[in-house]
Amino acid sequence: MTEKKTNNDTPKTDKQSDASSKAKETPHTAGTPPESSAASQPAAPAESGKGSKTGWVAIALVILLGAGLYYHGHQQNRAQLAQVTALKAELSNLKSELTKTSQDVRSEVDQRLLSASGKLEQQTNDIKGLQLAMSEVKGRRPNDWLLAEADYLTRMAGRKLWLEHDVASATVLLETADNRLAQLNDPSLTALRSAMNDDITTLKAVARIDRDGIVLRLTSLQEMVAGLPLANAIVPESLEQPQRETVSDSVSDWQSNLMTSLKQFSEHFVTYRKRDGNVIPLLSPEQNFYLQENIKSKLETAIKAVYREQGELYTQSLTMAKDWASQFYNTDDVKTQSFIKSLNEMAGQNIEASYPDKLKSPSLLADLVNQRLRQLIAPVKTEEDPA
């Protein structure tokens, strides 16, 4: 309301100032009294001062109103900023809670999936085991145990042959396995039985070595060493045989006979003879003990070589024992002669044999067992692969 009045008053004042200015500039006319113009001139400054005051009041009111509006807007902005900050903090809390909740849910879901997959795998294995058992029960024949026993016997024969070099036991095991196959009375096993008989023939052709007999005889020779008589000292014959002078029967040669007798008498006090050759003295008891132990050690080495089938070591050990016995024991004694003879006989024994590298029947029998006893195993069918 104030602004409207001010606007209405302002033009009037301008018009009055214009009129006064025109009255001053217009020359006085003849019918117009000078008092009226003078009376109108003082009224214009009063109206102009009143209008200016009103304008300043209006300007102050506008400034106050603008400041109030600015302050009010500023307060509203601060309140809105505080509200936005609170909303952002609440939103951040909600996001963190939502993230934590989703992680917990995901972890729980993963654990349950893992547990479910483990249970499913266990159930699948159980189903496969049941199918395997059912297929074995369904596919077996009444006499399949004989086939399985024959497979076991051939495996044992291979172990006896290559690990223990026991050809006799391996041959007996293969013969027993062949008898088990014969009890099946199955014409389809003809090729297998033919291969097994070839293996039996090959094993029978291997040289049989009586290792136990050889070892027992060497052990008895070890016990015989302590009773062998030592040889006496051996002194070689002298190279120069002394020439003996004889006493003549003539009385006229009494002087020469006297000198000969004195010379023979003096030779009994000091005798010097030159000998050439090896002198073997008598052994002391300590040396005799070491000699016996050395010969026993060589015989023990020969015993170990028998089980390891080391023919060269076996022969060398017995030859060295025989040489020591011939050198240090009395070879004229019967015990020594028997001991050396036995060593010669044992050194000629063959303790090595040639074994086959592979048998035909074990692999054929193993394939047949796998085919007979596991051919009806069916895989587990699933929804994704119904075929």
Please check whether residue 31 lies inside any domain of the structure: no
Q: For the chain, how many structural domains are there in total?
A: 3
pLDDT at 39: 42
Shared domain for 108 and 199, answered yes or no, is: no
User: From CA 173, how far away is CA 178, in angstroms rounded?
Assistant: 9
Last residue of a domain, one of 136, 163, 194: 136
Shared domain for 8 and 82, answered yes or no, is: yes
Tokens of 88: 């952002």
pLDDT > 80? residue 214? yes
pLDDT above 70 covers what percent of the chain?
70
Can you list the pairs that 131-139 forms with residues at least 24 positions away whose Cβ atoms lie under 8 Å? 131/377, 131/378, 131/380, 132/377, 135/374, 135/376, 135/377, 135/378, 136/373, 136/374, 136/376, 136/377, 138/376, 139/372, 139/373, 139/374, 139/375, 139/376
Shared domain for 126 and 180, answered yes or no, is: no
Tokens of 266: 């003096």
Shared domain for 227 and 342, answered yes or no, is: yes
pLDDT > 70? residue 1? no
Shared domain for 10 and 104, answered yes or no, is: yes
Nearest to 332 by CA among 236, 232, 235, 225: 232
Shared domain for 297 and 317, answered yes or no, is: yes
pLDDT at 313: 93
Last residue of a domain, one of 136, 164, 199: 136
DSSP H or E stretch at residue 254: helix 254-267
Nearest to 280 by CA among 246, 332, 237, 327: 327
Please check whether residue 255 lies inside any domain of the structure: no
pLDDT at 2: 38
Shared domain for 217 and 320, answered yes or no, is: yes
pLDDT at 142: 59
Last residue of a domain, one of 85, 109, 136: 136
Question: Do 351 and 214 meet the contact criterion of CB atoms below 8 Å apart?
Answer: yes
| Residue-wise burial string across 33-46, b where 16 or more C-beta atoms lie within 10 A, e elsewhere | eeeeeeeeeeebee
Shared domain for 70 and 121, answered yes or no, is: yes
pLDDT band of 309, cuts 50, 70, 90: confident
User: From CA 288, how far away is CA 206, in angstroms rounded?
Assistant: 43
Distance of CA 209 to the CA centre of its chain: 41
Domain that holds residue 99: 2-16+51-136
Please check whether residue 266 lies inside any domain of the structure: no
pLDDT at 24: 42
The DSSP secondary structure of 1-17, one letter per residue, reads -HHHHHHHHHHHHHHHH
pLDDT band of 37, cuts 50, 70, 90: very low
pTM for this prediction:
0.45
pLDDT at 251: 63
138-167: pLDDT as tens digits: 555 557 788 889 999 999 999 988 888 888
- Burial (CB < 10 A; 0-12, 13-18, 19+), residue 147, is buried
Please check whether residue 84 lies inside any domain of the structure: yes
Shared domain for 103 and 199, answered yes or no, is: no
Please check whether residue 345 lies inside any domain of the structure: yes
Q: What is the 3-state secondary structure (H, E, C) of 28-81?
A: CCCCCCHHHHHHHCCHHHHHHHHHHHHHHHHHHHHHHHHHHHHHHHHHHHHHHH
Shared domain for 227 and 316, answered yes or no, is: yes
List Cα–Cα distances, 341 to 85, 200, 211, in angstroms: 118, 38, 20
List Cα–Cα distances, 88 to 97, 99, 208, 233, in angstroms: 14, 16, 99, 122
pLDDT at 101: 87
Pick the more confident residue, 258 or 109.
109
Please check whether residue 156 lies inside any domain of the structure: yes
Q: Nearest 5 degrees, angle CA 365-CA 134-CA 178?
A: 20
At 352, is the secondary structure helix, strand, or coil?
A: coil
Shared domain for 109 and 124, answered yes or no, is: yes
pLDDT at 147: 85
Tokens of 108: 């729980």
pLDDT at 266: 65
pLDDT > 50? residue 5? no
Please check whether residue 28 lies inside any domain of the structure: no
171-213: pLDDT as tens digits: 999 999 999 999 888 888 899 999 999 999 999 888 888 888 9
Shared domain for 220 and 162, answered yes or no, is: no
Please check whether residue 124 lies inside any domain of the structure: yes
User: From CA 187, how far away is CA 196, in angstroms rounded?
Assistant: 15
Give the pLDDT mean for 265-287.
62
pLDDT at 377: 45
pLDDT band of 345, cuts 50, 70, 90: very high
